[in-house]
Structure 1
Amino acid sequence: MLKLKPASFITIAILGLSQLAFTPTAFAKNNQLQPTTSIQATRYQQDAELIKHTFESQLYTLNASTAGHYGLRMFRQTLDPKYSAAVWSDMARVASTLNEIAAEIQTPKQAKAYGQKKLQYYKTKGTTRTQMRYEVTKDKPEYLFLGIDLLGAMARADEYGLKHKYNKHLHNLIRQFDFKPYATDPEMIKAWAAQLANQVYWLRQLDEQDVVNDFITAFQKTYPDSQDKQLSDQQYANKIYGLTHIIFAASEYYQHPIDTKEFAWIYDYFDKNIEQILERTKDDVVAEVGISYLLAGKLDSPTLADTQATIAHAIDKKQGMIPSTDGDFELRKGEHRNVLAIMLLNWQGTNAAPTISQQPAVFKDLPYGLVKK
């Protein structure tokens, strides 16, 4: 499905559930319209429910990682215990990763060997992004061990109020490496912007090395706004993806509201460049921009309204989901963009959940290796 571009004024009138008014940024500002009317909000909620039905009717046909990704986000949005099994799938993934690392990795040399195995995935993929990642990481394979696996799993366990039974050993592994060179390398940022944003905040969350400000400074130098037009669409999307993940990571992934003053530079950029963002990035990135505004409570923002209208229009009503850019409707591949669409179109606030202290029923049977903090 074609994405509507905000440069031209188009209003779409389609009967029934699919009836959505697409109001581009310039028109909304010039005519001082309310960004989202109550009728639009209701239709957006219906759109979100349509996607939810598509995924939840088949959720447990998906692999544990994908089902866990979806279920955790929906639990944090709704606090509905029906997502407990999906959250348990995510816990099991975390436990499996940390069990393997605790058992097999004792030294930096072993960490590099672990990363070398993971590097083969990137070597065999032909996309521009994966090839960039392979080239920049092949001389530092331990980054794949530390950043992609260890930090992510430890941070998620921490969010649940859990830790691994060999937590001290895992923290010692983190301390074997200086993360600052990864976080401040322009070539690493060009390949891994969103992931690095997550990882520097995870390090802070775990009371380890704090390189958040170093990363943000390096990111701004790598992607100065004055050079946007010189970026390929792939690199421009990487920039926007990095910006949204700074906000997401600061919220500990939809758990806490965002202080708009701290990230005013990001919101100012989004407001000034929303037309370019809608033109040059995919639906998942557009949805993330919109969710950034919801996290900050900027509910009357025309930029938010633009992202919502764009994402609502992207839904294929017959299939009940947003397809990929090449028209693919595979649930596993489309889960990321579609769960983001659900959140964008029917936002229900932030919740620091689930945790073992507040929702003990979710955690009554902990996967082997995880214990209460």
Structure 2
Amino acid sequence: MRWVQSGWLGVLLALLVACQPTPVSTLTTASIGEQIRARYEQTLPDLSPDKQRHYATRLYRITGDSDYLPIIYQNLIGNADFLQQDLSQLHNRDYRLSRARQIARAYRDDTRKHQHRKQLLLAYDEIPFAKNLLYYLNKVDQFGLAGKPPFTRTEQGLDYLRQVDFARFILDPEVIAAYSPQLANMVYYLHGLGIRDLREPFQQAFRQVFPDQPPQPGPALEAQVYGMTHVIIAASGYYQKPIRREDFAWIFDYLERHHRDLIAYTKPDIYTEMALCFLLAGEGDSPVVAAVRQALEQRYDPQARMIPSPRWGTDLNKGEHRNVLAIMLYHWPKQLHPGPDLSRYPLYRKHYIALQY
């Protein structure tokens, strides 16, 4: 659905769907996916900017639909001034430490898990600043604007990041136990940007923190499986390219062997990512994928047209991650779409390239 150009069609489709309640037992995975997508496309402009960007990027990578480009572009350009400010102060240690404390203190602390993560960030000096800079430089690079206006200082940022001792943070067992998905992301950002290759050391450290044993419900299991799925998803460039199962056999074997317990003991965000990992490996006929689809059918709320959360209910912002994963599962393409390369985007070329001539 092209909500940018045909919003009224989205509203009409949503009304037609809403007027025809369907028992969950008779829903097909395709109809669940269509209904969730119709709901989110209809309300996408009302989501927070970061949720809009997350949704639009994932939908672009499974559809290649240019209608999602305005959201992705505006979100990246909208952060350009903040990134430029940080890049301009890389020489200033006091600034870096101040920004690190600011970033760490702003980290959410509404649960015990997040309070612990926040304390770990506060204990690591410049790491919150470096971590934040790494995230944005990776995003600029993935969208094809590294070294291009308004991101002409990206090489300076990379030079600074090469001097940061990320291994001290990423390979710390306590940090791995508390922060495994985000660490997996960082590992692949560092590798993709040519800064440092910590992929193998991280996987070895991860397997020491989370040994291969039968699943037991609780926060440790969620951290373990989330970390596993993020290793694979990060290796794919966040759904930009397929991966090979043999490169991550220890993860796939664990997920496959225990998938029924993992579905029972974890939440939809986690086990839907588990299914997407098998799709990234070209195993759409895996029993893991079928079991996850069945579990989502049981969780699906046909009135809200989404997968609700036990904690947050049908809040659209809180549910965006969970539901965009479900959309991807039900709309998985034959070919993924890398990027987008915003250097080719007409609005970018008009504002930044044409002005140079």
Superposition TM-score, scaled by structure 2 size = 0.86
2:50–2:75 CA contact under 8 A, matched in 1: yes
Question: 1:257-302 CA distances to partner (integer Å, 9 max, x unpaired)?
Answer: 0111101111100011112211211111111001001101101110
Distance of aligned partners of 1:186 and 1:110 in 2 relative to their CA distance in 1, 3 Å threshold? same
Matches within 5 A, 1:1-373: 17-20=22-25, 43-122=28-107, 125-147=109-131, 149-163=132-146, 164-226=151-213, 228-229=215-216, 233-326=218-311, 328-348=313-333, 349-356=335-342, 360-361=345-346, 363-364=348-349
Distance 1:184 1:324 in 2: 32
Distance 1:273 1:240 in 2: 11
Following TM superposition, by how much is the alpha carbon of 1:137 offset from its aligned partner in structure 2, in angstroms? 2.2
Larger displacement relative to structure 2 (284-293 or 87-96): 87-96
Which residue identity lines up with residue 302 of structure 1 in the other structure?
Answer: P
Distance 1:351 1:184 in 2: 32
Larger displacement relative to structure 2 (168-177 or 203-212): 168-177
Question: 1:144-175 CA distances to partner (integer Å, 9 max, x unpaired)?
Answer: 2122x111111111111111211122112202
Following TM superposition, by how much is the alpha carbon of 1:366 offset from its aligned partner in structure 2, in angstroms? 6.0
Distance 1:133 1:365 in 2: 42
Q: How many residues align?
A: 330
Structure 1 residues without counterparts, runs of 5 or longer: 1-14, 22-39
Following TM superposition, by how much is the alpha carbon of 1:364 offset from its aligned partner in structure 2, in angstroms? 3.4
Question: 1:303-342 CA distances to partner (integer Å, 9 max, x unpaired)?
Answer: 1111111123212111111111135211111111110010
Distance 1:360 1:126 in 2: 39
Distance of aligned partners of 1:51 and 1:116 in 2 relative to their CA distance in 1, 3 Å threshold? same
2:99–2:129 CA contact under 8 A, matched in 1: yes
Distance 1:66 1:288 in 2: 17
1:71–1:87 CA contact under 8 A, matched in 2: yes
Distance of aligned partners of 1:20 and 1:146 in 2 relative to their CA distance in 1, 3 Å threshold? farther
**What SS is found at the alignment partner of 2:246?**
coil
Which residue does the alignment assign to 1:36? none
**What SS is found at the alignment partner of 2:306?**
coil
Distance of aligned partners of 1:97 and 1:341 in 2 relative to their CA distance in 1, 3 Å threshold? farther
Distance 1:366 1:219 in 2: 45
Distance 1:227 1:137 in 2: 31
Which residue identity lines up with residue 364 of structure 1 in the other structure?
Answer: R
Distance 1:107 1:217 in 2: 35
2:233–2:277 CA contact under 8 A, matched in 1: yes
Superposition TM-score, scaled by structure 1 size = 0.82
1:44–1:312 CA contact under 8 A, matched in 2: yes
Which residue identity lines up with residue 275 of structure 1 in the other structure?
Answer: R
Distance of aligned partners of 1:76 and 1:210 in 2 relative to their CA distance in 1, 3 Å threshold? same
Distance of aligned partners of 1:153 and 1:327 in 2 relative to their CA distance in 1, 3 Å threshold? closer
Distance of aligned partners of 1:18 and 1:361 in 2 relative to their CA distance in 1, 3 Å threshold? farther
Which residue identity lines up with residue 351 of structure 1 in the other structure?
Answer: H
Larger displacement relative to structure 2 (274-283 or 254-263): 274-283
Larger displacement relative to structure 2 (163-172 or 203-212): 163-172
Distance 2:308 2:80 in 1: 32
Which residue identity lines up with residue 145 of structure 1 in the other structure?
Answer: F
Distance 1:249 1:341 in 2: 18
Which residue does the alignment assign to 1:4? none
RMSD after superposition: 2.3
Which residue does the alignment assign to 1:27? none
Which residue identity lines up with residue 197 of structure 1 in the other structure?
Answer: A
Distance of aligned partners of 1:97 and 1:282 in 2 relative to their CA distance in 1, 3 Å threshold? farther
Structure 2 residues without counterparts, runs of 5 or longer: 1-19
